[in-house]
Structure 1
């Protein structure tokens, strides 16, 4: 990962901006986020802006646009081909029940799940496609997708810009925040499941 990051920092400015756009765009549309989280590209873009190699505005525009466009593509893929993808190679890596639970969570929480999912790599890769599979209205998805892209993109780029040469620490901070949000979402899902199970048991007992 560090070698790849060092290569990105040595790229010509225009090519670095292409990657700042492309990597977030490919996260959920091509599942690249499982290998190289998009926030690393944005943090490094912020570092390049700090060094004066590219403008901060250009990095923000490239990263935010890439994130929003990529998730919209992921939504479209999930809506049209979701189950086929799930039953293919990708489905072997992730438990079917996890997908089903995430679909139910999206159906219940809607756009809020799209916004929160933006801030952690695991959910960022899966949520757009799952939103399409769950037939979340695209208008709702688009609003929270763009809002999440703006918030996440700005945060990640500014981490690199303000961190400057300490980009490794900035990237680590971003990853830790994402993991914390992922834990919160996982606990919320678990709590919801436990509540529903308890209610179901109570309803069964009422009929006995």
Structure 2
């Protein structure tokens, strides 16, 4: 992560917009999110905006535009070659999650397109799944745009304000303490994510069942 941040920091303003937008676009259109989630690029761009290297307004416009256009390309890919793409080798090990996403589209339709924007795996696959499910494009575009605007505004601002908070903490208590606080915050968020996804909870429940037997 530090190497990516340092690389982006060394780029000029217009190139930062282009790189962040390209990563967001590639996640939605080409399943590139399995390598580097677009939200990571958006947050890092927000941090650089706080440092004055880019404009937060132009960054948000770039991220929102890339998200909406990338999803539209992903939709078209799914509409034209959905079964072949979804059965490709990189996605075969995610068949259960893909099945869940397809079931969500059948139940919720456009709402699934909006909500999928905020989950990394679904963000990369939901457009293609919507296309392969033959969801009407106008309906897809509406909820895709709503999700793109909300997500594309929120994550750069998250990075922007996170950078601001880090600078205030660093100035008040020193760099070492600020880094330690950041590490603790990341650890807490990681545990929360694991519990939310059931990784920790399932283990405890399995142990309880074994104890009863």
**Common fold by TM > 0.5:** yes
Q: Deviations over 1:133-162 (max 9, x none)?
A: 111111111011111111111110111111
* Structure-2 residue corresponding to 1:69: 69
TM-score (norm 1): 0.77
* Structure-1 residue corresponding to 2:3: 3
Cα 1:101/1:39, change in 2 over 3 Å: closer
> Is the 1:74–1:129 contact (alpha carbons within 8 Å) kept by the matching residues of 2?
yes
Unaligned runs of 5+ in 1: 185-208
Take 1:164 and 1:10, find their aligned partners in 2: how far apart are those partners?
A: 17
Aligned length: 179
* Structure-2 residue corresponding to 1:150: 149
Take 2:61 and 2:146, find their aligned partners in 1: how far apart are those partners?
A: 14
Which runs of at least 4 in structure 1 moved beyond 3 Å after TM superposition? 165-169
* Structure-2 residue corresponding to 1:29: 29
> Is the 1:107–1:136 contact (alpha carbons within 8 Å) kept by the matching residues of 2?
no
Q: Deviations over 1:57-97 (max 9, x none)?
A: 110110010011111111110111010112222343322x4
Over aligned residue pairs, what C-alpha RMSD do you find? Answer: 2.6
Take 1:109 and 1:54, find their aligned partners in 2: how far apart are those partners?
A: 38
Q: Deviations over 1:26-67 (max 9, x none)?
A: 002111101101111111211222122211111011001001
TM-score (norm 2): 0.75
Unaligned runs of 5+ in 2: 168-178, 199-213
* Structure-2 residue corresponding to 1:52: 52
* Structure-2 residue corresponding to 1:140: 139
